Amino acid sequence: MRAFIFSEVHKSTIRPGDTVLHNEKLMTVCVNDIKKCEFMGLTIFGDSYMSGLKPVMKRILKNDRPN
C-alpha cells in the first residue's frame, strides 16, 4: 500500500518543502528552485510548466489530505 498519492496542482501553489514529480523524478523543492521570471512567470527548477497551463504533480501523504 502506498503512503502517498499525487495531486495535479497549479505551479503557484508549490512551496519550499513540497515534493513534486519533475522529469519523471521525485524532487523536493527548496527556496532556490522557485524563481520569478519576467518573461515566463513563475518557474520551478527552471521549468515554466507551459506558462502555468501544465499542472504540477505534487506528492501528498495520505494522512495530510484535507477531508
Q: Mind spelling out the 3-state secondary structure of 35-65?
A: EEECCCEEEECCECCHHHCCCEEEEEEHHHC
**What's residue 27's pLDDT?**
97
* Beta strands 34-37; 4-9: pairing state: unpaired
Band of pLDDT at residue 62, cut at 50, 70 and 90? confident
Band of pLDDT at residue 47, cut at 50, 70 and 90? very high
Predicted confidence (pLDDT) per residue in 2-45, tens digit: 788 999 999 999 999 999 999 999 999 999 999 998 988 999 99
Element (H, E) at 44: strand 41-44
> The C-alpha cell of 21 is what?
514529480
Residue 47's domain comprises 4-64
What's the structural domain count of the chain?
1
Residue 52 has pLDDT above 80, yes or no: yes
DSSP 49: T
